[in-house]
Amino acid sequence: MFASFAERSNEAELMDGVDYTAAELIENLADLRRVNRYLGGQGALTRHLFPMIEATGRRRIRLLDVGSGSADIPARIVEWARNRGIEIEFVALDMNEIAAREALRQTVSYPEIKVVRADAMNLPFDDRSFDFTLASLFLHHFESDGASALLKSFARVSLVAFIVNDLRRHPVAYYSIKLLTRIFTRNRLVRNDSAVSVLRGFTEHDIADIARQAQTPLRIYRHFPYRFILIGRQSL
Per-residue pLDDT of the chain (236 residues; tens, 9 = 90+): 568 899 999 999 999 999 999 999 999 999 999 988 888 779 999 999 999 999 999 999 999 999 999 999 999 999 999 999 999 999 999 999 999 999 999 999 999 999 999 999 999 999 999 999 999 999 999 999 999 999 999 999 999 999 999 999 999 999 999 999 999 899 999 999 999 999 999 999 999 999 999 999 999 999 988 999 999 998 65
Four-point Cα dihedral 30, 33, 38, 39, nearest 10:
110
Domains of the chain, first to last: 14-167+203-233 (3.40.50.150)
Q: In whole angstroms, what separates CA 66 from the centre of its chain?
A: 7
What CA–CA distances, in Å, run from 128 to 62, 125, 155, 158?
A: 10, 8, 8, 5
| pTM attached to this predicted model | 0.95
Q: Closest Cα to residue 150, out of 162, 132, 167, 168?
A: 162
